[in-house]
């Protein structure tokens, strides 16, 4: 039976995770153990549950209890479900909930790079991509366009941040990923040829057939504005650029990622 709890006291400590703790504080909540994160919207929460993530509690607009929140509540009968009208929840959290539903979940222990890359043909490496919207959009494109895994350097935004997972439409729970220090040399030792997406005059055109034909590729994408570091570009096997027109010199990293994944994902490789 669902444990429905009407919110009457904004200061209740069990609501701290929704009302008073930042995402960074949730990340570090149980150190040295794993912290919490907040998933937002029914589809994102369902994908997290499908992937085995463990829920702690739900916060939902009252009218969704018998509609969009119902299948989630049915799958999590033993956790508290805090509820109120939308205006109360907006006042509590400081923002308007997307489709009126949040779920606090335990963070998993991240896998090693070796485990994430085992059996992969195409992986994505993000270097210091700090905008959570871009990280979420890149995950969504990676999942849709034939990428097998994502590796993020420590300077990247966390894929489990609420905005990142929501923009990804929950694909951060579907595609293997980890966050760890990385150099192209490690991936080369695992059999990957490495591609630096960068605006260099001597770069290969992204449509060069040799790229899509590679058996294993690691595609490196850099931070917003500055792109990849010179060191990373130097260490990669290929430097690749997307041709531009009308005087445009670059694309947003999320838009560039979608083009790169479509062209290099092996879909177009000679058979």
pLDDT at 96: 73
Task: Read off the pTM.
Answer: 0.92
Element (H, E) at 256: helix 253-264
In whole angstroms, give the CA distance from residue 103 to residue 107: 12
Element (H, E) at 48: helix 42-50
pLDDT tens for the chain, residues 1 to 271 = 679 999 988 888 999 999 999 999 999 999 888 999 999 999 999 999 999 999 999 999 999 999 999 999 999 999 999 998 888 888 888 877 767 899 999 999 999 999 999 999 999 999 999 999 999 999 999 999 999 999 999 999 999 999 999 999 999 999 999 999 888 899 999 999 999 999 877 789 999 999 989 999 999 999 988 899 999 999 999 999 998 888 887 789 999 999 999 999 865 443 3
Pairing mode, strands 204-205 and 193-197: unpaired
Rounded distance between C-alpha atoms, residue 155 and residue 83, angstroms:
36
Burial of 47 from C-beta contacts in 10 A (0-12 / 13-18 / 19+):
buried
- Whole-number pLDDT of residue 1: 62
- Looking at residue 244, what is its pLDDT? 84
């Amino acid at each position: 039976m669902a444990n429905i709890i009407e919110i009457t006291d904004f200061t209740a400590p069990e609501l701290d995770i929704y009302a008073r703790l930042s995402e960074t504080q949730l990340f570090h909540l149980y150190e040295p153990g794993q912290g919490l994160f907040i998933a937002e919207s029914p589809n994102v929460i369902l994908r997290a549950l499908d992937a085995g993530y463990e829920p702690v509690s739900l916060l939902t607009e009252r009218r969704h209890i018998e509609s969009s929140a119902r299948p989630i509540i049915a799958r999590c009968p033993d956790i508290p479900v805090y509820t109120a009208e939308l205006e109360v929840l907006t006042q509590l959290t400081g923002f308007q909930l997307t489709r009126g539903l949040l779920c606090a979940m335990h963070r998993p222990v991240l896998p090693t790079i070796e485990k994430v890359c085992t059996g992969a043909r195409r992986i994505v490496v993000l270097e210091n991509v700090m905008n959570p919207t871009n990280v979420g959009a890149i995950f969504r494109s990676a999942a849709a366009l034939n990428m097998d895994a994502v590796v993020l350097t420590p300077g990247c935004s966390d894929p489990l941040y609420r905005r990142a997972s929501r923009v990804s439409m929950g694909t951060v729970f579907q595609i293997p990923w980890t966050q760890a220090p990385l150099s192209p040399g490690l991936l080369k030792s695992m059999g990957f040829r490495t591609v630096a997406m960068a605006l260099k005059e001597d770069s290969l055109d992204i449509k060069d057939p040799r790229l899509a034909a590679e058996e294993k590729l690691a595609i490196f994408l850099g931070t917003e504005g500055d792109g990849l570091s010179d060191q990373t570009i130097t260490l990669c096997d290929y430097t690749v650029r997307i041709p531009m027109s009308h005087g445009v010199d670059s694309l947003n990293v999320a838009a560039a990622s979608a083009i790169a994944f479509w062209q290099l994902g092996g879909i177009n490789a000679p058979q």
